[in-house]
Amino acid sequence: MRRFLTALPYLFLGLAVVIAGWMVWSIIAPTWEGIDVDGESADTTSTVAATTTRPADWVESCETVMETLMDEGWAISEEAGDLRQATADAQEGVHSWYRAVDIAEDRLIPRLQRLIDSAEQVLAADPDTVSRIGATAFRDAATPLLAQAQDLVTAVIDPETVEVDEDAWIAWWAEWPQSLQQLTNVLGRSLESTRNCPD
């Protein structure tokens, strides 16, 4: 019993060390996982899912249609903002162009394709006037953005060397903000359009 009492402080000390180590690891582990091999902060945003489970009759509800298209449109705007920051950082030498390529390929392009697919699904269902106008507007706004995002990672940025064609970049950047503004305009009109959905 005396030996046990003598060893008890050491047992508590060992337990305290284990707990402290666990707490430290829980703090630094997320930070460590966010760093890639070349020292840049890794992108921890998950790849956009190709499909989303929706009710089979979702296209029959005008409000659901407009809310779905707006949600996808705003998500694209956020991804486009991240892409703009990534390209600005690459030009300033803060990060490589890999980051811009990753955002375009893994996040922006899938979201644009998803919005176009959603709009096409709505139009194929012979919807009411508000849904048809909204779906057409979102599809027409997303289509050039998709083509330009694909051009960015194939013609502007070399997919193998990740080097940038300066002339192609200047031409691309002259068109991209205008196309993005078209989507912004559609989003701005959509809220009012939703109020016009039939009861």
Shared-domain flag, residues 26 and 70: no
Residue 38 lies in a domain: no
Whether the predicted pLDDT of 25 surpasses 50: no
Poorest-pLDDT segment among 3-7, 157-161, 181-185: 3-7
Residue 92 lies in a domain: yes
Residue 50 lies in a domain: no
Q: Looking at residue 7, what is its pLDDT? A: 47
Whether residue 69 sits in one domain with residue 12: no
Which of the two residues, 31 and 91, has the higher pLDDT score?
Answer: 91
Does residue 44 form part of some domain?
A: no
The whole-number pLDDT of residue 89 equals: 92
Question: Does residue 17 sit in the same domain as residue 106?
Answer: no
Do both 63 and 142 map to the same domain?
yes
**17 & 102 share domain:** no
Looking at the chain, the whole-number percentage of residues with pLDDT higher than 70 is 71
Tell whether 11 is covered by a domain: yes
Query: Is the pLDDT assigned to residue 3 strictly greater than 90?
Result: no
Please tell me the pTM assigned to this model. 0.72
Amino acid 2: pLDDT: 47
* Domain extent for 95: 58-195
Query: Which pLDDT does position 10 carry in this prediction?
Result: 52
pLDDT tens track for 74-91: 999 999 999 999 999 998
Q: Please, what is the average pLDDT of the chain?
A: 80
Q: Would you say residue 45 lies in a domain?
A: no
- Confidence band for 187, pLDDT divided at 50, 70 and 90: very high
Domain count, the chain: 2
Residue 117 domain flag: yes
Claim to verify: residue 76 and residue 135 sit in the same structural domain: yes
Closest to 100 (Cα-Cα) out of 114, 112, 113, 84 = 84
